[in-house]
């Protein structure tokens, strides 16, 4: 009897996250998917067909029979969309690489700092989260605009004569993404580096490695689980990023999040924007699965 | 002084005034902030010697080893290896290799990869590396584990990979930081002898850091007993045990009964020490200079004390009566705790050379302890 209760309880506990995923991910996804198969119309809600359970079985079957793949066919026919997807992936890829370039040394420095200051440094990395993401991105407008802080400083320091045009370019988008997602990359790398036994590096030096070689042969390969986790944590949300390209990017900036937003709000084309979202999700499933695998592998090797 | 046991082999360059030291620490001091880890220490180690640095944790023995490896630079003084001053030479350019206490095996490389690592750094041709790795694997009997990763090995196997990895480069000196610390007792005993064999076979100089005195005594040619950053005594295991130079060393190594008293009379070759607290007088060989009235120490090992129910012939010196308070049976030997009238406990050990004894000593028996004049050590420091 006690065993039975225990097994019921353990199943209940396990079912909580699954239930969460069903309510907040699977059901919304099904709704979005359903809308993506509909047609745009001037109505509330702005698509047809709608499924009205009260209208009876036959009406529901009629509605479902009107579903079509037209929106997906349209996505495939208009080069704007695949260009936007491609450009999102490229911008996300470049910014992930730049974030790694900036974040790795930070994580390394933190992990090698004296234990007494480590928690303070960790705090400093997390500190920006205390301010709204939106406000922080807005702040970058103030820094990057032609008469902004950066240009004022560079002119004052006699580095440049005329203000640099950074705001409303892809460069600004990259800066924004690198800045916003930096903690997501620093934290997993820091945690792998901090756990690493420093005597491994000493052993490598003892066996004839100069410090730089020891870093590339020992420290970096051993921090790979953190690097992979951090890169995916930056790359996946960056692909669908909407706020940063909208605020910092210009007309040349083509990112799928922005396209989706335009379809949804300006064009009021819910079915097409749903199709864009479903395709984006399908695209991101690939790196998410890779990420999961890398995580599982990292956990396996720790055993 | 009489001979103090036979040496393990006829190897004693430290007794040869002509012999040139291989490693010398000259007035080496190492400070970490306010803390002095190594304090004005001088020490010489000879080629092909198996040298042990023995001490409690925090005595500076590991710092000494790390300075030799190049991970720490001395604050003052210098270290010479084969005549060369090591100051400023980074670890990766020193002809020494270290076996780390944690073994520090590279987890992302196979056993082969670990052993080949140092050789690759030296730019050795691939075929020579392969040959050397095979030779090392054979040496530590791990041929069939070449392709395994460290986490697929047992503790003892990992230890041997670590050993093979640092021996592979044929260093001038091999440094071992608590090499057997992570192994269980039985494996530790086996490995001690393997290490000694290996050292003989390769003809290398070994410097081993350990807090385990048995380990040091078994393996080393000479032991440096360290305390608070200083070397208290450097001597062969037999000398350290039988002729400690100070109360600290006598107390640190092995089991000992320690007395403190005043020298009453000095007759030629003998010294009488009064121990007023225990109402006994100790007569011992005058192995050290001392004068009447001087406060001295006297140390005697439990196995050098005799126990008997019968009163010894001479009870005026080196004898006391007490009751058997505790008996610790170890199988090969038994340690008796005898409580004197003063309340003091004296430890006496006897070897169980026969299987059964008629009328053995039991709890609460009144017994006599006595010992010879050459059984103990007179200590003036």
- Using a pLDDT cut of 90, give the percent of chain A over it: 55
Handedness of CA A291, A295, A296, A301 (dihedral sign): positive
With bands split at pLDDT 50, 70 and 90, how would you rate the model's confidence at A53? Answer: confident
For A234, how many CA atoms within 13 A lie in the half-sphere containing its CB? 34
A249-270: average pLDDT: 87
Contacts of A115 (CB under 8 A, 6+ apart): none
Most confident of B88-92, B195-199, B360-364: B88-92
How many DSSP H helices and E strands does chain B contain? 8, 20
Chain A contact for B98, CB < 8 A? yes
Which chain A residues touch B151 with a CB distance below 8 Å? 301, 303
In this predicted structure, what is the pLDDT of residue B200? Answer: 87
In this predicted structure, what is the pLDDT of residue A222? Answer: 93
B250-272: average pLDDT: 89
With bands split at pLDDT 50, 70 and 90, how would you rate the model's confidence at A221? Answer: very high
Tens of pLDDT, residues B329-354: 998 999 999 999 888 999 999 888 88
Tens of pLDDT, residues A231-254: 999 999 999 898 999 999 888 888
* Shared fold status for B13-95+171-250 and B255-379: no
In this predicted structure, what is the pLDDT of residue B268? Answer: 82
CA dihedral angle for residue B256, residue B259, residue B263, residue B266, rounded to 10 degrees: -30
| Bridge partners of residue B173, in order along the sequence | B96, B205
For tokens 């100069």, the residue is: A210
Which chain B residues touch A303 with a CB distance below 8 Å? 151
CB contact under 8 A, B104 and A301: no
Among B29-38, B78-87, B271-280, the range scoring the smallest mean pLDDT is B271-280
Question: For chain A, how many residues are written?
Answer: 303
CA distance B346 to B302: 8
B147-153: average pLDDT: 93
Tens of pLDDT, residues A187-210: 999 999 999 999 999 999 999 999
Smallest CA–CA distance, residue B176 to chain A, in Å, is 12
In this predicted structure, what is the pLDDT of residue B9? Answer: 55
CB contact under 8 A, A207 and B97: yes
Tens of pLDDT, residues B271-296: 999 998 888 889 998 888 888 888 99
Q: Which of B100, B101, B121 sits opposite A208 (nearest CB)?
A: B121
Among A54-58, A127-131, B150-154, B310-314, the range scoring the smallest mean pLDDT is A54-58
CB contact under 8 A, A200 and B69: no
A–B: how many Cβ contacts below 8 A?
61
State yes or no: pLDDT of A303 exceeds 80.
Answer: no
In this predicted structure, what is the pLDDT of residue A301? Answer: 64
CB contact under 8 A, B91 and A206: yes
How does strand B205-210 pair with strand B50-54?
Answer: parallel
Chain A contact for B172, CB < 8 A? no
| Bridge partners of residue A40, in order along the sequence | A47
Interface of B with A in 238-297 (CB under 8 A): none
CA distance A198 to A219: 9
Chain A contact for B124, CB < 8 A? no
CB contact under 8 A, A301 and B151: yes
Q: Which of B101, B108, B117 sits opposite A207 (nearest CB)?
A: B117
Q: Which of A200, A209, A222 sits opposite B92 (nearest CB)?
A: A209
Options 3.40.1000.10, 3.40.1130.10, 3.30.413.10, 3.40.50.300; CATH of B13-95+171-250: 3.40.50.300
Q: Which of A197, A206, A301 sits opposite B98 (nearest CB)?
A: A206
Which chain A residues touch B93 with a CB distance below 8 Å? 208
Q: Kindly indicate whether the domain formed by B255-379 is annotated with CATH number 2.40.50.140.
A: yes
- Using a pLDDT cut of 70, give the percent of chain B over it: 98
Domain coordinates in residue numbering, chain B: 13-95+171-250, 255-379
A18-46: average pLDDT: 89
Query: How high does pLDDT run on average in chain A?
Result: 89
Which residue of chain B is at minimal alpha-carbon distance from A220?
B108
Structure tokens at A206: 């003892």
Which chain A residues touch B107 with a CB distance below 8 Å? 200, 222, 301
CA distance B182 to B156: 9
Tens of pLDDT, residues A287-301: 788 888 877 877 776
In this predicted structure, what is the pLDDT of residue A302? Answer: 57
Contacts of B302 (CB under 8 A, 6+ apart): B255, B256, B257, B335, B347, B348, B349
Domain coordinates in residue numbering, chain A: 78-302
CA angle B82-B85-B91, nearest 5°?
90
Report ipTM (2 d.p.): 0.83
Chain A contact for B158, CB < 8 A? no
With bands split at pLDDT 50, 70 and 90, how would you rate the model's confidence at B223? Answer: very high
What's the fold here for domain A78-302?
Answer: MetI-like fold (1.10.3720)
Which of B94, B104, B123 is best to mutate for the A interface (most A CBs within 10 A)? B104
State yes or no: pLDDT of B6 exceeds 50.
Answer: no
Query: How high does pLDDT run on average in chain B?
Result: 90
B165 vs B312, residue with greater confidence: B165
Chain B contact for A227, CB < 8 A? no
With bands split at pLDDT 50, 70 and 90, how would you rate the model's confidence at B7? Answer: very low
Structure tokens at A23: 């309510």
Cβ B150 vs Cβ B106: under 8 Å: yes
Which chain B residues touch A196 with a CB distance below 8 Å? none
Tens of pLDDT, residues A179-189: 999 999 999 99
State yes or no: pLDDT of B1 exceeds 50.
Answer: no
Which chain A residues touch B106 with a CB distance below 8 Å? 200, 203-204, 218
With bands split at pLDDT 50, 70 and 90, how would you rate the model's confidence at B5? Answer: very low
| Bridge partners of residue A163, in order along the sequence | none
Q: Does residue A119 have a cis peptide bond before it, meaning omega lies within 30 degrees of 0?
A: no
In this predicted structure, what is the pLDDT of residue A164? Answer: 87
Which chain B residues touch A301 with a CB distance below 8 Å? 107, 151
CB contact under 8 A, A197 and B92: no
- Percent helix, strand, coil in chain B, to 5, is 25, 35, 40
| Buried b / exposed e along A11-23 (16+ C-beta atoms within 10 A) | eeeeeeeeeeeee
| DSSP symbol at B222 | E
Smallest CA–CA distance, residue B50 to chain A, in Å, is 20
Which chain A residues touch B117 with a CB distance below 8 Å? 204, 207, 217
Smallest CA–CA distance, residue A216 to chain B, in Å, is 13
Which chain A residues touch B97 with a CB distance below 8 Å? 206-207
Chain A contact for B304, CB < 8 A? no
| Bridge partners of residue A235, in order along the sequence | none
CB contact under 8 A, A301 and B69: no
Which chain A residues touch B170 with a CB distance below 8 Å? none
**Residue B21: what are its φ and ψ, rounded to 5°?**
-65, 145
Among A49-58, B84-93, B151-160, B317-326, the range scoring the smallest mean pLDDT is A49-58
């Amino acid at each position: 009897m006690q065993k039975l209760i225990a097994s019921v309880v353990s199943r209940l506990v396990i079912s909580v996250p699954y239930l969460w995923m069903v309510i907040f991910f699977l059901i919304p996804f099904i709704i979005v998917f359903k809308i993506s198969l509909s047609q745009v119309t001037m109505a509330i809600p702005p698509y047809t067909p709608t499924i009205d359970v009260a209208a009876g079985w036959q009406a529901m079957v009629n509605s479902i029979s009107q579903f079509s793949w037209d929106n997906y066919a349209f996505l495939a026919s208009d080069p704007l969309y695949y260009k936007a997807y491609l450009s999102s992936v490229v911008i996300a890829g470049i910014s992930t690489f730049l974030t790694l370039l900036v974040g790795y040394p930070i994580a390394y420095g933190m992990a090698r700092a004296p234990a007494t200051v480590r928690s303070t440094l960790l705090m400093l990395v997390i500190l920006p989260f205390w301010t709204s993401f939106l406000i922080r991105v807005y702040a970058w407008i103030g820094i990057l605009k032609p008469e902004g802080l950066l240009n004022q400083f560079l002119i004052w320091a006699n580095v440049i004569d005329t203000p640099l045009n950074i705001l409303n370019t892809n460069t600004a988008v990259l800066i924004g993404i690198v800045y916003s997602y930096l903690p997501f990359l620093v934290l997993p790398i820091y945690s792998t580096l901090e756990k690493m036994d420093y005597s491994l590096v000493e052993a490598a030096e003892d066996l004839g490695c100069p410090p730089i070689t020891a870093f590339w042969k020992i420290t970096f390969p051993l921090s790979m689980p953190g690097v992979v986790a951090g890169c995916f944590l930056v790359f996946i949300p960056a692909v669908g990023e909407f706020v940063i390209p909208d605020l910092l990017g210009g007309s040349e900036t083509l990112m799928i999040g922005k396209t989706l937003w335009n379809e949804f709000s300006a064009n009021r084309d819910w079915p097409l924007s749903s199709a864009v979202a479903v395709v984006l999700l399908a695209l991101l499933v690939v790196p998410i699965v890779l990420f999961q695998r890398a995580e599982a592998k990292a956990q396996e090797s720790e055993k | 002084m009489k001979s103090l046991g036979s040496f393990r082999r006829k190897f004693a360059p430290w007794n040869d005034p002509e012999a040139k030291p291989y490693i010398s620490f000259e007035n080496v001091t190492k400070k970490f902030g306010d803390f002095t880890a190594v304090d004005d220490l001088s020490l010489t180690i000879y080629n092909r010697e198996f040298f042990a640095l023995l001490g409690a944790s925090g005595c500076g023995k590991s710092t000494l080893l790390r300075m030799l490896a190049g991970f720490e630079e001395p604050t003052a003084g210098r270290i010479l290896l084969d005549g060369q001053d090591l100051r400023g030479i980074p670890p990766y350019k020193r002809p020494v290799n270290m076996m780390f206490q944690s073994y520090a095996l590279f987890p992302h490389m196979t056993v082969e990869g670990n052993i080949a690592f140092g050789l690759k750094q030296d730019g050795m041709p691939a075929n020579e590396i392969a040959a050397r790795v095979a030779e090392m694997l054979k040496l530590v009997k791990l041929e069939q584990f070449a392709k395994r990763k460290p986490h697929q090995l047992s503790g003892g196997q990992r230890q041997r990979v670590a050993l093979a990895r640092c021996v592979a480069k044929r260093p001038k000196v091999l440094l071992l930081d608590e090499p057997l610390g992570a192994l269980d007792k039985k494996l530790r005993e086996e490995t001690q002898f393997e290490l000694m064999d290996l050292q003989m076979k390769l003809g290398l100089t070994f410097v081993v850091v350990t807090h385990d005195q048995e380990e040091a005594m078994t393996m080393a040619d000479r032991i440096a007993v360290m305390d608070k950053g200083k070397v208290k005594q450097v001597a062969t295991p037999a000398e350290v045990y039988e002729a400690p130079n100070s109360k600290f060393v006598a107390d640190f190594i092995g089991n000992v009964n320690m007395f403190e008293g005043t020298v009453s009379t000095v007759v030629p070759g003998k010294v009488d020490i009064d121990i007023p607290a225990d109402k006994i007088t100790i007569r011992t060989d005058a192995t050290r200079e001392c004068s009447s009235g001087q406060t001295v120490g006297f140390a005697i090992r439990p196995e050098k004390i005799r126990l008997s129910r019968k009163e010894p012939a001479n009870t005026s010196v080196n004898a006391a009566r007490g009751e058997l308070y505790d008996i610790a049976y170890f199988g090969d030997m038994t340690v008796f705790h005898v409580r004197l009238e003063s309340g003091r406990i004296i430890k006496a050990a006897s070897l169980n050379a026969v299987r059964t004894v008629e009328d053995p000593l039991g709890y609460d028996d009144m017994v006599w302890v006595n010992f010879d004049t050459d059984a103990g050590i007179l200590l003036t420091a």
